[in-house]
Amino acid sequence: MQRVFNRLKKVTHKADLPWEVHLIDNHQWNAFTIGGGKVFVYTGLFKGKLAVRSDDELAAILAHEIAHVNARHASEKQGKLMLSKLLDKKLRSAAYEASFTTNQEDEADKYSVIYSALAGYKPSAGAEIWARMHKQLGSDSKDRLHDHPLNADKAKSLTRYAKLAEQYYHSGKINKNYKTLLTNNAVFFHQGESTLKAGEGGGFLALFETLGNAYVEAEKAKQEQRKRGL
């Protein structure tokens, strides 16, 4: 896990953060972040039918959490709340991810495929995880926290993003152009590091919503047209 994390943290938007990954002995299939570069993974992620099966899949999970950190989805306030929850035995099962919105989840998924691809991990691995999740658990909204996209939807959108990121992926190798590609790639666009830093969920996110969504909408429209044979 440390090895995979170390390669991912080199190709992220905020390489200067004090990145740390910690393993928590807990049966749940989950990973979370408290922001500020701290990512936590439950041992449950490696057990049972849904266990992550490869470095590529683990990278998908870690990259997703790294993305939440970089997009500042996890605020310091939330982070402190989570830490206090973790310290409280009764609340230890609380799923922190529940506090992210569907939009933030989707944004983290977009980033995750780019981070995976740039670090030399298969960008489609995330889609494989969620396809398996759908196969095992279905996509009943009762199975998942209400603000999470359903497993099948997540698998579908991740497949779409992974196809766009595939061109940057060289198995086992960090993409030499990762710095440029972080700010300009086929999955999302934004105006460089300064925009990312400026946005306390504001500037960057707003810009992302506009440009990123416009792109995704255009892709969706194209797919619709293809489906209808236009």
**Which residues contact Zn ion (rule: CB under 5 A)?**
97, 105, 108
* Residue 144 CB, nearest approach to Zn ion (Å): 12
Range list of H helices, the chain: 2-10, 55-70, 76-87, 102-119, 125-137, 151-165, 178-183, 192-198, 203-227
Nearer to Zn ion, 144 or 191 (CB): 144
State the nearest-atom distance from the C-beta of 100 to Zn ion, in Å. 5
Contact predicate 19/3, CB 8 Å: no
Sheet holding 38-42, edge to edge: 20-24, 38-42, 31-35
28, 46, 101, 128 from 57: Cα distances, Å: 17, 11, 23, 8
Nearer to Zn ion, 108 or 133 (CB): 108
Q: Which is nearer to Zn ion, 132 or 148 (CB)?
A: 148
Report, in Å, the least distance between residue 177 CB and Zn ion: 27
Q: Kindly state the smallest distance separating residue 141's Cβ from Zn ion, in Å.
A: 17
Nearer to Zn ion, 97 or 128 (CB): 97
